[in-house]
Structure 1
């Protein structure tokens, strides 16, 4: 057995000396590296999420409400012997000295957390706490200290009460991922909440009841709470368990996993083209060897076993090396993502290694298998009869094997049949269009009479091997399209989005304004040099009926629709069409009759249309009105916008608060502080700070995409190297003929450069047009951002395409130029 293994490894070593098999091995390793790096990261994130779901809830069961929970929930839990804790979360301004910042304030009872621990850093020591901060003290995020120029031990004002910063909150598992919480956390004791005076009419507050106990107790209480909520038709109350813990976080991680996996899969698919081309050329070179072996008595079974062993060995070694590189790559991805993932990830598991092995063998047997196994059919007579030089590889079966492997891999990576179908169709359509257009262009060029010898020779040569030229152009075009699309999204979309916001657009939103505070706030803002603000009334109401039929979140499939029904809307009233609003269908509000003007996006989400009768519950009172118009909003204006607007007669007598927006110059840095000191109940949102945080998130995601795109670029380079190598036999024959006729090195170089430039130019043009169109469609239909960078897309596509072709073909053309006519014939 040892001798057989050594003999096999020696044969594999000889095989790898073949440049074609070496390119195949590199392409396979690259594809496995790209996929395994993403798989390692996704596996760690998912296992971190599932490692201890109780810590992500800080309890065994969680009841969430946007109103104070009835005491019956607490009494029932106590009677069943469950442990209890409560938290109250809402946005508020935090002030230290002359600096203010919006914070996500969390008031907790002494029993919090029931599961897990809080990691708090203090001057004394870093410590895991199983209870919240003491009265009069708060714990804050590190980001909050930096923004407020504060340190531990300083005083911080929240509403009407001053606290001491007692520690830095390093870890709070039940909060979720960092990119879901733009406002940094400030945690305080629930006993201090009433003294702050922060919760008032119109405040957006989330109340949570945390419960812990045995599995039997939790299950029993959960059933009772569900039945009670349903029987009493309590709105805005939901139950979270270990099964649906952190649904937003889980969904976001799943989407990120799928998105990154599909990008990595694109690299694998591009690499698969290089694998197929390398296998085809390797097979052609091995055909004569197999013919000799058959003359010496080798059976088809022996040749089949030899090729199968080669494939298995290549797959195993490529999977091993790709897994090692992917293991290192996922650490780079983790560093690039920073705090966008969970703060602590578990060690890697063996699962991604198995996935890497499956990917390697899928790609090998799907794209290289048909060509390599065709060696079984090689006839010994090919050694003396040139008409038997072909391998007889059935093209249809080769294509079917490759497409089947591609579809299976896409399905496995996407884990969503809709997403997989969309990807397959998009990928297939792009390939079909690129191949058809490039074939048409090459055929058209063959009909053109050219004056120059070099150009004419290249056109005739490409016409003789149109199939391989189409493969070269299509593979390069697909890779360039993916590269250009992400580059456009990273650069042009961001600048277009930022440029779409006026320089003097409002950068502050002031909410929770009471009616008797409007005049004083107006005077304060005008005295500070800010133009007179326009206050808009805001009434909290819940949608409970559509066309007289009760609705619940369970009536909708989309998560966004469920959340809209589960929470309260911010309603407003006016008889004047707000600036920046455009009526798409219907008529604007006229008179005092019950009527609703609704934003078109939310109407689409909730499947509402003109004429639908809606019923909102506001402070125990029902407001019924039909939809009479649908509006499109200008979100880029940064002004106050409302989804639902009614006539003043319907809402002005109901409990309400007011909201406004204004532009605050960077020179007026203390204005936020002065206003929050004079009006502690106000919440002032600094939108510019949020936009900056969004920018940082986009930059981190762009870095991750950049790393994955590096794999794609390398895969595209391998495709070009393999495609150019696949046509080397033809090039050597042409070079031998030209050298025999007296062609100089300059002529050969000119012919090679024209051919490479032609391939790069066509592929670059196709990729530029396709990426520009895709970016325009995404901006127009999805992001509502004008995009007109077609010129830049075409320029980058052509530049990248020509540069890549010239760089990848340099080595081959140098070999041809240096070889003699006899050497060229021998190579061919």
Structure 2
């Protein structure tokens, strides 16, 4: 009996649209979580896999001492691929020429990720291979050919052995991005290291072990490896390195996580508003059923069945649409990225279903319990039960639910707490602002028969309800503005670091005598070149007269002087400039004056590493000569730009008597490569470091991340629109009653329509203005704390917020009311009945 009645009521309410918004809200929450989770998971895997080419593996174990073979054996037993690298510098001899070069000896498995690009000869086409040179052969970078005056097929001496030059090395996936490292690159088979007799006790050698495989297998291996890692060993992945790609990936992950959390907040607000409104609409039917003898138990069963059916239907719809959306999005993104996206795991499905069930139950349970307590006398006294409209318990349960959903989605308690608390503070501020706005409206002089007067009177009449609406509108607009502006700032920051005309090569080791000639040649060939920086190698030897600890060799059983001050155990690249570089920001102190003598400007991380402060004196050692310089400024350096950067910059007088070489970044277009090669042939001592492929990979990754962020933003905008729709839908019944009364009193349709439009316009504009202000303050904080961006205010959104908010809410609200306005008074009365 009750089941038949329950189904009849269910389909009746569904046709009326009361359950439609709840169903749509729950479904949107489910599809939002599923789509965001699956798309971000698949994109994250794809970008991470592609970005792994920057280190030629998924993970790397690095050390300045030989690494145990037992690590590789254990990795093989856990289904991981491995490779080994050995780096050292040595002299090459050929044709009575010699050249210091950087050698990388690789095992046959190298590279595990990415590609090697080679040429059969200097003027041949580029080929792609997946394995290094065979034993007895070497590959040279182009600059080595010019320096030694050799060609492919010639013989070269490397240490105690002779090798055949087999290929021209064009590109390595994990070539070090360091403009001060040698561009004289040599690729050698690791089996040939021993016969070169170059690596001896005390030699400066660096070792790498590469690992690749499933993330679960890598994590299991690292769990075994971690207790055994020594202080001189380092385990890292692509996102652990300080590089533009690592920063881009980390920022993108933070944005996608933030967007997902805000999307859940918006969907949850829509569900909470819709569920509460539905239960309020059922007060009269419940009172009627109780009057006709319906028991509390029967009513409970009816509405719990409604909740179960809505939940099941919504979750199913959300999963189907969400899977379809993510599949469409993934296919589109895969084509844009020119890469097949990996399949997502089971976690997004579990998270999405859990979100739908939790939303349906937690946001509905308190309004349903209130619904069961409606007295039968409400059929005679319509105000009975209105005390249940505002429930602190419901608000507390809703807040707790939102927190749990955010935590479930992010799996990060810190980020969840920050966003949740900031949202609560925002709601509190908005409520106070709404009371001031609506209270102030009572003092305005109103004229009867005026649309504006009618709109303001309507706002005043529903002050409490409008406060809730204002908060919901402002919250939705704030989150949308927040994400849109943050997205634009992030992408603008990335593009400013790597614009389309970014340098794609560096010239290093230019002598002072060569500088004028090379400068003229570059100008003649119209090759874009940045400023030339003088450089010299030096060491920080003391701070305020106190010697710093030098680097020791554990291999030679040297011991560190525990009493010495901590310092930098290697030489630094020093420069001297009259003006601060454009990519540097002075954050403390002042830059050198024209009469500066013996001054130094230090980068902020080096300041902390040396444990020094403004006014301290650093003693530098260059060769056998030492000199002092006083720290007068601290700089924040943007290391992501493809320009030379320095930890320490000295005033020009300090290094005036030291011989230096110069470096600069250049932009080589395709039609200028022949001219650039001619420059290198003419000046074989000048090193050229080609970073063109590096720049292209970075720009490609940023483009992919930007595309993913745009898609996520579209989903969140949909959530925001649903919040606005649910708020307008919640007040639809009351507005219909007002329209009936106004028409009965003789009000014209044009007056009512304009008043409705103006009311929504005022609410939307007020919400947009408050949202813009709060959003800008929140952006300022989040940009600095979460995204390492320079926090700044955005005055333009203070105008855009009210305009967009007022227009969007007014248009949306007006068209939702328009259907009601087209009905005659008799039709409206039937709808209310």
Aligned to 2:416: 420
Pairing of 1:306-705 with structure 2 (within 5 A): 306-335=302-331, 338=334, 346-390=342-386, 392-451=388-447, 453-491=450-488, 509-513=506-510, 518=515, 521-522=518-519, 524-525=521-522, 527-528=524-525, 534-539=532-537, 570-574=572-576, 576=578, 578=580, 585-586=588-589, 596-600=600-604, 603=607, 609-610=613-614, 628-632=631-635, 640-646=644-650, 658-661=662-665, 670-679=674-683, 682=686, 684=688, 697-705=701-709
Alpha-carbon shift at residue 409 of structure 1 (Å)? 1.9
Q: Per the alignment, do residues 225 and 819 of structure 1 end up closer, same or farther by CA in structure 2, a change over 3 Å counting? A: closer
Structure 1 SS opposite 2:446: coil
Tell whether 2:14 aligns with 1:31.
no
Structure 1 SS opposite 2:282: helix
Aligned to 1:752: 756
CA distance in 1, matches of 2:472, 2:632: 49
Aligned to 1:132: 132
CA distance in 2, matches of 1:761, 1:220: 55
Aligned to 2:62: 64
- Once superposed, what is the RMSD of the aligned Cα atoms? 5.9
Structure 2 SS opposite 1:476: helix
CA distance in 2, matches of 1:652, 1:80: 55
Tell whether 2:285 aligns with 1:289.
yes
Question: Aligned to 1:790, which of 795, 812, 817?
Answer: 795
CA distance in 2, matches of 1:582, 1:363: 48
CA distance in 1, matches of 2:262, 2:411: 15
Structure 1 SS opposite 2:388: coil
Alpha-carbon shift at residue 401 of structure 1 (Å)? 0.8
Tell whether 2:276 aligns with 1:280.
yes
Residue deviations 1:31-79, cap 9 Å, x none?
Answer: 221211222245557888999x9999989995424xxx55x65899999
Residue deviations 1:478-512, cap 9 Å, x none?
Answer: 22223233433455776698789999998864235
Cα contact 1:288–1:382 (8 A) shared by 2: yes
Aligned to 1:824: 828
TM-score (norm 2): 0.71
Cα contact 2:83–2:112 (8 A) shared by 1: no
Alpha-carbon shift at residue 353 of structure 1 (Å)? 1.5
Pairing of 1:33-432 with structure 2 (within 5 A): 33-44=31-42, 63-65=61-63, 69=64, 73=67, 85-87=83-85, 109-113=106-110, 131-134=131-134, 189-190=188-189, 207-209=207-209, 226=229, 230=231, 237-240=232-235, 247-248=240-241, 256-335=252-331, 338=334, 346-390=342-386, 392-432=388-428
Aligned to 2:722: 718
Question: Aligned to 1:800, which of 791, 799, 804?
Answer: 804
Cα contact 2:334–2:341 (8 A) shared by 1: no
Cα contact 1:596–1:625 (8 A) shared by 2: no
Residue deviations 1:490-536, cap 9 Å, x none?
Answer: 55776698789999998864235467754653453355467896332
Cα contact 1:518–1:535 (8 A) shared by 2: no
Cα contact 1:54–1:115 (8 A) shared by 2: no
TM-score (norm 1): 0.72
Structure 1 SS opposite 2:715: helix
Question: Aligned to 1:741, which of 736, 740, 745?
Answer: 745
Cα contact 1:132–1:188 (8 A) shared by 2: yes
Aligned to 1:182: none
Aligned to 1:767: 771
CA distance in 1, matches of 2:398, 2:811: 28
Residue deviations 1:128-159, cap 9 Å, x none?
Answer: 9985355879899xxx9xxxxxxxxx9999x9
Worse-superposed segment, 10-19 or 688-697: 688-697
Cα contact 1:739–1:820 (8 A) shared by 2: no
Cα contact 2:84–2:110 (8 A) shared by 1: no
Cα contact 1:58–1:114 (8 A) shared by 2: yes
CA distance in 1, matches of 2:406, 2:389: 26
Alpha-carbon shift at residue 747 of structure 1 (Å)? 1.6
Q: How many residues align?
A: 747
**Which has the larger share of helix?**
1
Alpha-carbon shift at residue 22 of structure 1 (Å)? 0.8
